[in-house]
Amino acid sequence: MEIVETAPAKVNFYLHVGPVRRDGLHELASLFVFADFGDAVSAQPADDLSLDIVGPFAGALRAEKNDDNLVMLAARALAEAAGAGPGAPHGARLTLTKRLPVAAGIGGGSADAAAALKALARLWRLNISRGALADIAFRLGADVPACLDAAPVYVTGAGEAISRGPTLPPLWLCLVNPRVPTPTGAVFRAFDAAAPRPPAPALARPAAASVTAFRAMMAASRNDLEPHAIARQAIVSDVVEFLRARPGALAARMSGSGATCFGAFASEEAAHRSARCARANGWWAAAAPLLVGGR
Protein backbone atom coordinates (compact mmCIF):
# COMPACT_ATOMS: atom_id res chain seq x y z
CA MET A 1 0.00 0.00 0.00
CA GLU A 2 1.28 3.46 -0.93
CA ILE A 3 -0.24 6.70 0.31
CA VAL A 4 0.53 9.86 -1.66
CA GLU A 5 -0.16 13.42 -0.50
CA THR A 6 0.55 16.50 -2.56
CA ALA A 7 2.41 19.48 -1.12
CA PRO A 8 1.24 22.44 -3.22
CA ALA A 9 3.16 25.69 -3.38
CA LYS A 10 2.01 28.21 -0.78
CA VAL A 11 1.73 31.84 -1.87
CA ASN A 12 1.28 34.88 0.36
CA PHE A 13 -1.06 37.19 -1.54
CA TYR A 14 0.08 39.69 1.06
CA LEU A 15 2.22 39.57 4.21
CA HIS A 16 1.84 42.23 6.90
CA VAL A 17 4.50 41.89 9.60
CA GLY A 18 4.07 43.21 13.13
CA PRO A 19 6.10 43.26 16.32
CA VAL A 20 8.12 40.41 17.76
CA ARG A 21 6.28 38.33 20.38
CA ARG A 22 7.68 37.03 23.64
CA ASP A 23 8.36 33.68 21.95
CA GLY A 24 10.61 35.42 19.40
CA LEU A 25 8.15 35.06 16.52
CA HIS A 26 6.60 37.96 14.62
CA GLU A 27 2.92 38.81 14.64
CA LEU A 28 1.64 38.35 11.10
CA ALA A 29 -1.46 38.99 9.04
CA SER A 30 -1.56 37.20 5.72
CA LEU A 31 -3.73 35.53 3.13
CA PHE A 32 -2.27 32.17 2.17
CA VAL A 33 -3.33 30.58 -1.10
CA PHE A 34 -2.07 27.48 -2.87
CA ALA A 35 -1.20 26.68 -6.47
CA ASP A 36 -2.06 23.37 -8.10
CA PHE A 37 1.63 22.57 -8.46
CA GLY A 38 4.21 21.46 -5.95
CA ASP A 39 6.01 18.62 -4.23
CA ALA A 40 4.63 15.22 -3.27
CA VAL A 41 5.19 12.92 -0.30
CA SER A 42 4.52 9.17 -0.50
CA ALA A 43 4.51 6.72 2.39
CA GLN A 44 4.71 2.92 2.31
CA PRO A 45 4.74 0.41 5.18
CA ALA A 46 8.19 -0.39 6.58
CA ASP A 47 9.79 -1.50 9.84
CA ASP A 48 11.80 1.71 10.24
CA LEU A 49 11.51 5.32 9.19
CA SER A 50 13.47 6.25 6.07
CA LEU A 51 13.38 9.06 3.52
CA ASP A 52 14.39 9.17 -0.13
CA ILE A 53 14.45 12.50 -1.96
CA VAL A 54 13.97 12.62 -5.72
CA GLY A 55 12.92 15.19 -8.29
CA PRO A 56 14.37 18.30 -9.98
CA PHE A 57 15.37 20.02 -6.72
CA ALA A 58 16.45 16.93 -4.78
CA GLY A 59 20.09 17.91 -5.13
CA ALA A 60 19.58 21.05 -3.07
CA LEU A 61 18.56 18.88 -0.11
CA ARG A 62 21.11 16.09 -0.43
CA ALA A 63 23.78 18.14 1.33
CA GLU A 64 21.60 18.00 4.45
CA LYS A 65 21.11 14.97 6.63
CA ASN A 66 17.79 13.28 5.93
CA ASP A 67 17.13 13.20 9.68
CA ASP A 68 17.00 17.01 9.66
CA ASN A 69 14.49 17.21 6.80
CA LEU A 70 11.07 18.49 7.86
CA VAL A 71 9.45 15.36 6.43
CA MET A 72 11.42 13.18 8.85
CA LEU A 73 10.86 15.61 11.72
CA ALA A 74 7.12 15.44 10.99
CA ALA A 75 7.19 11.64 10.92
CA ARG A 76 8.96 11.39 14.27
CA ALA A 77 6.69 13.98 15.86
CA LEU A 78 3.57 12.16 14.71
CA ALA A 79 4.92 8.78 15.83
CA GLU A 80 5.69 10.23 19.26
CA ALA A 81 2.22 11.74 19.53
CA ALA A 82 0.65 8.39 18.57
CA GLY A 83 2.36 6.68 21.52
CA ALA A 84 3.84 3.22 21.84
CA GLY A 85 0.81 1.11 22.66
CA PRO A 86 -0.51 -1.90 20.73
CA GLY A 87 -0.88 -1.14 17.06
CA ALA A 88 1.27 1.98 17.33
CA PRO A 89 3.16 2.96 14.15
CA HIS A 90 6.61 1.46 13.65
CA GLY A 91 7.95 3.11 10.56
CA ALA A 92 7.43 4.02 6.94
CA ARG A 93 9.38 4.33 3.73
CA LEU A 94 8.91 7.95 2.74
CA THR A 95 9.68 9.50 -0.64
CA LEU A 96 9.76 13.25 -1.17
CA THR A 97 9.46 14.33 -4.81
CA LYS A 98 10.97 17.82 -4.79
CA ARG A 99 9.61 19.96 -7.64
CA LEU A 100 9.70 23.35 -5.90
CA PRO A 101 12.84 25.43 -5.35
CA VAL A 102 14.27 25.16 -1.85
CA ALA A 103 14.03 28.08 0.62
CA ALA A 104 12.11 30.08 -1.95
CA GLY A 105 9.26 31.75 -0.03
CA ILE A 106 6.56 29.39 -1.28
CA GLY A 107 6.36 27.09 1.73
CA GLY A 108 8.04 24.05 0.18
CA GLY A 109 9.39 22.61 3.42
CA SER A 110 6.24 23.52 5.36
CA ALA A 111 3.99 21.98 2.72
CA ASP A 112 6.18 18.87 2.67
CA ALA A 113 5.85 18.50 6.45
CA ALA A 114 2.07 18.92 6.27
CA ALA A 115 1.86 16.33 3.48
CA ALA A 116 3.95 13.91 5.53
CA LEU A 117 1.65 14.31 8.54
CA LYS A 118 -1.42 13.61 6.42
CA ALA A 119 0.14 10.68 4.56
CA LEU A 120 1.34 8.99 7.75
CA ALA A 121 -1.92 9.59 9.60
CA ARG A 122 -3.61 7.69 6.77
CA LEU A 123 -0.94 4.98 6.50
CA TRP A 124 -0.91 4.36 10.25
CA ARG A 125 -4.71 4.73 10.47
CA LEU A 126 -4.44 7.13 13.38
CA ASN A 127 -7.52 8.42 15.12
CA ILE A 128 -6.19 11.96 15.51
CA SER A 129 -8.22 15.13 15.47
CA ARG A 130 -7.53 17.98 13.08
CA GLY A 131 -6.75 20.19 16.05
CA ALA A 132 -4.17 17.78 17.42
CA LEU A 133 -2.59 17.46 13.98
CA ALA A 134 -2.44 21.25 13.72
CA ASP A 135 -0.71 21.45 17.12
CA ILE A 136 1.98 19.05 15.92
CA ALA A 137 2.24 21.02 12.69
CA PHE A 138 2.84 24.32 14.50
CA ARG A 139 5.68 22.83 16.51
CA LEU A 140 7.35 21.97 13.19
CA GLY A 141 7.06 25.52 11.82
CA ALA A 142 4.77 28.53 11.87
CA ASP A 143 3.53 27.96 8.28
CA VAL A 144 2.90 24.23 8.57
CA PRO A 145 -0.66 24.33 10.04
CA ALA A 146 -1.95 26.45 7.16
CA CYS A 147 -0.52 23.91 4.70
CA LEU A 148 -2.69 21.08 6.04
CA ASP A 149 -5.56 22.29 3.83
CA ALA A 150 -4.77 23.50 0.33
CA ALA A 151 -7.37 26.27 0.37
CA PRO A 152 -7.26 30.03 0.95
CA VAL A 153 -6.85 30.87 4.65
CA TYR A 154 -6.35 34.00 6.69
CA VAL A 155 -3.34 33.60 8.95
CA THR A 156 -2.69 35.66 12.07
CA GLY A 157 -0.66 35.27 15.25
CA ALA A 158 2.67 33.80 14.22
CA GLY A 159 0.95 31.37 11.88
CA GLU A 160 -1.03 29.33 14.40
CA ALA A 161 -4.30 31.30 14.13
CA ILE A 162 -5.98 30.17 10.94
CA SER A 163 -9.46 31.05 9.69
CA ARG A 164 -11.31 30.32 6.51
CA GLY A 165 -10.22 32.56 3.67
CA PRO A 166 -12.36 34.38 1.13
CA THR A 167 -14.03 33.01 -1.95
CA LEU A 168 -11.77 34.16 -4.76
CA PRO A 169 -12.42 34.41 -8.49
CA PRO A 170 -10.90 31.76 -10.75
CA LEU A 171 -7.25 32.73 -11.04
CA TRP A 172 -4.06 31.38 -12.52
CA LEU A 173 -0.68 31.94 -10.89
CA CYS A 174 2.68 32.27 -12.56
CA LEU A 175 5.45 31.54 -10.05
CA VAL A 176 8.93 32.82 -10.89
CA ASN A 177 12.15 32.34 -8.95
CA PRO A 178 15.34 34.05 -10.19
CA ARG A 179 17.52 31.37 -8.58
CA VAL A 180 19.04 33.62 -5.90
CA PRO A 181 18.93 33.18 -2.09
CA THR A 182 17.01 35.51 0.22
CA PRO A 183 17.55 33.91 3.65
CA THR A 184 14.45 34.25 5.82
CA GLY A 185 16.36 35.14 8.98
CA ALA A 186 18.38 37.86 7.30
CA VAL A 187 15.32 39.38 5.64
CA PHE A 188 13.40 39.48 8.94
CA ARG A 189 16.41 41.02 10.71
CA ALA A 190 16.54 43.74 8.07
CA PHE A 191 12.82 44.39 8.62
CA ASP A 192 13.38 44.61 12.40
CA ALA A 193 16.23 47.07 11.95
CA ALA A 194 14.13 49.28 9.69
CA ALA A 195 10.94 49.02 11.80
CA PRO A 196 11.83 48.30 15.44
CA ARG A 197 8.28 49.11 16.60
CA PRO A 198 5.91 48.19 13.77
CA PRO A 199 2.16 48.52 14.27
CA ALA A 200 -0.02 45.49 14.84
CA PRO A 201 -0.66 43.88 11.44
CA ALA A 202 -4.18 43.86 9.98
CA LEU A 203 -5.83 41.60 7.46
CA ALA A 204 -7.02 42.86 4.08
CA ARG A 205 -10.22 41.21 2.88
CA PRO A 206 -11.71 41.31 -0.61
CA ALA A 207 -15.20 42.79 -0.73
CA ALA A 208 -16.52 40.18 -3.18
CA ALA A 209 -15.48 37.15 -5.21
CA SER A 210 -14.61 39.20 -8.27
CA VAL A 211 -11.51 40.23 -10.17
CA THR A 212 -12.24 43.86 -9.32
CA ALA A 213 -12.40 43.09 -5.59
CA PHE A 214 -9.23 41.01 -5.82
CA ARG A 215 -7.34 43.86 -7.46
CA ALA A 216 -8.61 46.29 -4.82
CA MET A 217 -7.44 43.95 -2.03
CA MET A 218 -4.01 43.70 -3.61
CA ALA A 219 -3.78 47.47 -4.00
CA ALA A 220 -4.63 47.89 -0.31
CA SER A 221 -2.05 45.36 0.89
CA ARG A 222 1.66 44.65 0.60
CA ASN A 223 4.48 42.27 1.48
CA ASP A 224 6.43 44.02 4.25
CA LEU A 225 9.47 41.84 3.56
CA GLU A 226 9.71 42.60 -0.15
CA PRO A 227 11.82 45.79 0.05
CA HIS A 228 14.30 44.08 2.38
CA ALA A 229 14.65 41.08 0.06
CA ILE A 230 15.18 43.49 -2.86
CA ALA A 231 17.89 45.28 -0.87
CA ARG A 232 19.77 41.95 -0.75
CA GLN A 233 18.88 40.77 -4.25
CA ALA A 234 17.86 43.54 -6.65
CA ILE A 235 16.78 40.96 -9.22
CA VAL A 236 13.66 40.31 -7.12
CA SER A 237 12.44 43.75 -8.17
CA ASP A 238 13.15 42.84 -11.80
CA VAL A 239 10.99 39.72 -11.48
CA VAL A 240 8.09 41.61 -9.88
CA GLU A 241 8.22 44.27 -12.61
CA PHE A 242 8.46 41.58 -15.30
CA LEU A 243 5.29 39.91 -13.98
CA ARG A 244 3.47 43.20 -13.44
CA ALA A 245 4.10 44.16 -17.08
CA ARG A 246 2.90 40.85 -18.54
CA PRO A 247 -0.29 41.02 -20.65
CA GLY A 248 -3.28 40.08 -18.52
CA ALA A 249 -1.53 40.47 -15.16
CA LEU A 250 -3.91 41.45 -12.37
CA ALA A 251 -1.23 41.79 -9.69
CA ALA A 252 2.38 40.83 -8.98
CA ARG A 253 4.33 40.57 -5.76
CA MET A 254 7.01 38.62 -3.90
CA SER A 255 5.81 35.70 -1.78
CA GLY A 256 6.98 35.16 1.80
CA SER A 257 10.60 36.17 2.30
CA GLY A 258 11.38 35.46 -1.36
CA ALA A 259 12.87 35.08 -3.74
CA THR A 260 9.87 33.56 -5.54
CA CYS A 261 7.42 36.09 -6.95
CA PHE A 262 3.97 35.54 -8.38
CA GLY A 263 1.77 37.07 -11.00
CA ALA A 264 -1.99 36.56 -10.81
CA PHE A 265 -3.94 36.16 -14.05
CA ALA A 266 -7.52 35.51 -15.06
CA SER A 267 -6.30 33.64 -18.15
CA GLU A 268 -4.59 30.24 -18.26
CA GLU A 269 -2.91 31.17 -21.54
CA ALA A 270 -1.49 34.42 -20.12
CA ALA A 271 -0.05 32.59 -17.10
CA HIS A 272 1.62 29.92 -19.24
CA ARG A 273 3.02 32.50 -21.66
CA SER A 274 4.50 34.41 -18.74
CA ALA A 275 6.11 31.23 -17.39
CA ARG A 276 7.65 30.47 -20.78
CA CYS A 277 9.05 34.00 -21.04
CA ALA A 278 10.44 33.79 -17.50
CA ARG A 279 12.20 30.51 -18.30
CA ALA A 280 13.69 32.17 -21.39
CA ASN A 281 15.29 34.65 -18.96
CA GLY A 282 16.97 31.76 -17.17
CA TRP A 283 14.56 31.85 -14.22
CA TRP A 284 12.61 28.94 -12.75
CA ALA A 285 8.91 29.31 -13.48
CA ALA A 286 5.65 27.38 -13.26
CA ALA A 287 2.05 28.22 -14.13
CA ALA A 288 -0.86 26.64 -12.27
CA PRO A 289 -4.45 27.37 -11.29
CA LEU A 290 -5.28 28.65 -7.83
CA LEU A 291 -6.64 25.93 -5.57
CA VAL A 292 -9.90 27.20 -4.10
CA GLY A 293 -10.88 24.25 -1.94
CA GLY A 294 -8.14 21.65 -1.86
CA ARG A 295 -7.22 19.29 -4.66
CATH number at residue 191: 3.30.70.890
d(CA 236, CA 232) in angstroms, rounded, equals 9
Q: Tell how strand 49-54 and strand 92-97 pair up.
A: parallel
Distances (CA, A) of 96 to 1, 122, 275, 283: 16, 17, 24, 23
Q: What is the largest CA-CA distance in the chain?
A: 60
Which one of 36, 112, 143, 224 is the catalytic residue?
143
The verdict on 177 and 262 lying in the same domain is: yes
The verdict on 48 and 10 lying in the same domain is: yes
The verdict on 154 and 65 lying in the same domain is: yes
CATH number at residue 89: 3.30.230.10
The verdict on 127 and 183 lying in the same domain is: no
Name the domain boundary from 140, 164, 188: 164
The verdict on 9 and 117 lying in the same domain is: yes
Our answer to whether residue 10 is catalytic in this structure is yes
The verdict on 196 and 284 lying in the same domain is: yes
Give me the pLDDT at residue 86, please: 55
With a CB cutoff of 8 Å and minimum separation 6, the contacts of 94 are 41, 42, 43, 49, 50, 51, 52, 71, 72, 75, 116, 119
Contact 45, 252 (CB under 8 A): no
The verdict on 12 and 149 lying in the same domain is: yes
Which one of 10, 112, 118, 149 is the catalytic residue?
10
Provide block-wise average pLDDT over 10 residues at a time, the chain (295 residues).
96 97 94 98 95 93 83 95 69 96 92 97 93 94 90 93 95 98 95 96 96 98 98 98 98 97 98 98 98 68
With a CB cutoff of 8 Å and minimum separation 6, the contacts of 217 are 13, 14, 31, 204, 205, 206, 207
Question: What is the helix (H) or strand (E) element at residue 176, kind and residue range?
Answer: strand 172-177
Q: Is the pTM of this model over 0.85?
A: yes
User: Quick check: bond before 259 cis, omega within 30?
Assistant: yes
Q: How many domains does the chain have?
A: 2
The verdict on 92 and 213 lying in the same domain is: no
The verdict on 112 and 199 lying in the same domain is: no
Which domain range does residue 274 map to?
Answer: 172-291
Give me the pLDDT at residue 295, please: 45
Burial of residue 84 (CB within 10 Å: 0-12, 13-18, 19+) is: exposed
The verdict on 182 and 242 lying in the same domain is: yes
Give me the pLDDT at residue 87, please: 59
* Burial call 230-245: b when 16+ CB within 10 Å, e when fewer: bebbebbbebbebbee
Our answer to whether residue 143 is catalytic in this structure is yes
The verdict on 138 and 15 lying in the same domain is: yes
